Amino acid sequence: MTIASHFPIPTLNDTPTDFDKLFALGNTVLADAGHVIFDFSECQFLRPNAIAFLGGIARLIESKGRKVQFDFNTAHDKVLTILRQNNFAHFFGHPVFLGPGSSVPYREDRTDLNHQTNLKDDIISYLSNDWLGHGWVHVSPRLRNAIVGVVWEIYDNAFEHANSSIGLYSCGQHFPRLRILQLAVADFGIGIPENVRRYLRRHLPPALCLRWAFQEGASTKKQETGRGLGLKLLKDFVNLNHGMLEIYSQNGYALIRDKKERFHNIKNSLQGTIVNIKIRCDESYYCFADENSVGPLF
């Protein structure tokens, strides 16, 4: 008889310390041989990055033939409400889905583009309608479509390069009091640094691999240049908006904020990649310069 191990989920925000806790929890759970029960009794709050990560870790454990249970009976009301609104709880056995509220729904994309022809359209619809389509951030339709296209590239790169047998996991949230809109996308593949090393045939530190991947024109796609991670427009918008873009991948960390790019090696490793996007919900109207509107322009 296989014994189930209980793992308490701590309160998880999205500071570097919180990511350290998240990765440590994931590594501990993956190293365990038994079935898993996640306990929420010590958790007061979960950000989208934690929710996407926990969903992916659960599916990764299941792919190894182990059972996973989230004990929602231990969750505080505030935490349970969030998990029911974004549909995470329903994915893992809770009978009630409350509806999105201010959440960007949790989703799982556990297939590749070769097996689901409408996956791209489905994800673009999710980004356009569930993430940017509620008016939480005032962007012109044309700029919204462009940003959505760039974020789709994050999914596309993960599908093509991550080699993750369990796919991608996404979740977001609008925080009205903080005036922030957040989206997190996680995969559990080989990671950006390993992909870059294989392509360049050089053993570079994780931070240098991420720096290379962020260069405009860098691409690990065969016979294709000029793409990089496809993030230039998103970086420009995040800087104009005073938002933030960060990527954790293996032992590498990239941060785009205040018109600066930072790349670091970190101690706690992550199997795969998390992309965390935070946009400020200010009163500005964002558009391209040729759209003849008053406001921050590209």
Provide the residue count of the chain: 298
pLDDT for 40: 98
Q: Are 9 and 70 in contact (CB under 8 A)?
A: no
Average pLDDT, the chain: 89
Q: What is the CA radius of gyration of the chain?
A: 19
Burial of 98 (0-12, 13-18, 19+ CB in 10 A): middle
Taking residues 99-123, report their average pLDDT: 82
Q: Are 274 and 53 in contact (CB under 8 A)?
A: yes
pLDDT for 225: 42
pLDDT band of residue 25 (cuts 50, 70, 90) is very high
Taking residues 90-104, report their average pLDDT: 90
- Return d(Cα 212, Cα 221) in angstroms, integer: 14
pLDDT band of residue 2 (cuts 50, 70, 90) is low
pLDDT for 110: 79
- Return d(Cα 221, Cα 199) in angstroms, integer: 9
Q: Are 98 and 65 in contact (CB under 8 A)?
A: no
HEC string for 216-245 = CCCCCCCCCCCCCCCCHHHHHHHHHHCCEE
pLDDT for 235: 87
pLDDT band of residue 223 (cuts 50, 70, 90) is very low
Q: Are 255 and 214 in contact (CB under 8 A)?
A: no
Per-domain residue ranges of the chain? 4-291
pLDDT for 233: 84
pLDDT for 33: 85
pLDDT for 294: 60
Q: Are 250 and 151 in contact (CB under 8 A)?
A: no
- Record the tokens describing residue 5, joined without a space: 């191990």
Tens digits of residue pLDDT in 126-182: 999 999 999 999 999 999 999 999 999 889 888 887 788 899 999 999 999 999 999
Taking residues 116-130, report their average pLDDT: 90
- Return d(Cα 150, Cα 153) in angstroms, integer: 5
Closest listed residue to residue 49, CA positions, set 263, 278, 220: 278
CATH number of 4-291: 3.30.565.10
pLDDT for 118: 85
Phi, psi of 263 (to 5 degrees): -130, 130
pLDDT for 217: 62
Taking residues 58-78, report their average pLDDT: 95
Helices (H), the chain: 16-31, 48-63, 77-85, 88-91, 119-125, 141-161, 192-200, 206-214, 232-241
Sign (positive or negative) of CA dihedral 150, 278, 38, 83:
negative
pLDDT band of residue 61 (cuts 50, 70, 90) is very high
| Residues in Cβ contact with 37 at an 8 Å cutoff, skipping those fewer than 6 apart | 4, 5, 6, 7, 68, 69, 70, 71
- Return d(Cα 92, Cα 40) in angstroms, integer: 14
Taking residues 263-284, report their average pLDDT: 92
